[in-house]
Structure 1
Amino acid sequence: MNILISSNSKEPLFQQIKEQIKQQIFSGELKEGDALPSMRLLAKDLKVSVITTKRAYEDLEKEGYLISTVGKGTFVAGQQPHVLKEWQIRELENELEKVVHDGKHIGLSKAELIELLEIYYEGDG
């Protein structure tokens, strides 16, 4: 599992860890049943406190991405394809909400935002 954190980011460290684990699940890099490093080992590797990794793991478990078993460890939860897609859509909606907010903040119209979306969507093809 490869996680890179930035102490210069405005995003809290636990959130950076959490989002990168989710992205690895979404991409298929982490699959159902895969074991994650212990909270202590991950904290040591990332040079953060165990409290930081504990918060990330607990949040991911509450959201259904991970399963923790006392004495055995933490594992990627089983995701049915339609459930995984629903989570991915929810994450995308959160990103879109931020983009719309930021666009309004700088004075972009709805038409300008849609035009930008179309440019990026077509350019990705």
Structure 2
Amino acid sequence: MKIIINTSSMVPIYEQIVEVIKREIASGGLEADAALPSVRTLSKELKISALTVKKAYDQLESDGLVTTVHGKGTFVKGLNPGLIREEQLKELEGDMARMVDKAKRYGISTEELLEIFQMVTED
């Protein structure tokens, strides 16, 4: 698993780690019972604080994606891919709701917002 951190991003580093690991789990890159790198190993690899990695692992655990066994490590839980997808869709729904609220504050109409959506989704 390759984690690349963008230090100039507005997204906190621990959230970037969480997103990469979630993506790996959802895509099957990390299977059930796979061990994540230790907090110390990942913090050295990424040249960040161990507390940041610990915060990411704690978030993943509270999301129900991993389990930590004291003295053994952090492991991917056996998950239903549909549940992961459902979580991703809920997260996107929240992101979109915030975007729509912002558009309303800016006086942007639904039609303009849909045009923007069409524009950014074109490949």
TM-score, normalised via structure 1 length: 0.84
**3-state SS, counterpart of residue 36 of structure 1:** coil
Q: Distance between the aligned counterparts of 2:13 and 2:118, measured in 1?
A: 33
Report 1:58-77 matches (<5 A): 58-77=58-77
Unaligned runs of 5+ in 1: none
1:88 Cα deviation (Å)? Answer: 1.8
Q: CA RMSD in A?
A: 2.0
Aligned to 2:117: 117
Aligned to 1:52: 52
Number of residue equivalences? 123
**3-state SS, counterpart of residue 68 of structure 1:** strand
Checking the alignment, whether the CA contact within 8 Å between 2:40 and 2:50 is kept in structure 1 is: yes
1:106 Cα deviation (Å)? Answer: 4.1
Distance 1:5-1:105 versus aligned 2 partners, 3 A rule:
farther
Checking the alignment, whether the CA contact within 8 Å between 2:26 and 2:81 is kept in structure 1 is: no
Checking the alignment, whether the CA contact within 8 Å between 2:39 and 2:54 is kept in structure 1 is: yes
Aligned pair 1:28/2:28, yes or no?
yes
Distance 1:106-1:26 versus aligned 2 partners, 3 A rule:
farther
Checking the alignment, whether the CA contact within 8 Å between 1:26 and 1:88 is kept in structure 2 is: no
Checking the alignment, whether the CA contact within 8 Å between 2:14 and 2:55 is kept in structure 1 is: yes
Identity of counterpart residues, as a percentage?
42
Distance 1:62-1:117 versus aligned 2 partners, 3 A rule:
same
Aligned to 2:38: 38
Code of the residue aligned with 2:10 in structure 1: it is: K
Aligned to 1:108: 108
TM-score, normalised via structure 2 length: 0.85
**3-state SS, counterpart of residue 2 of structure 1:** coil
Code of the residue aligned with 1:80 in structure 2: it is: N
Q: Distance between the aligned counterparts of 2:43 and 2:21, measured in 1?
A: 14
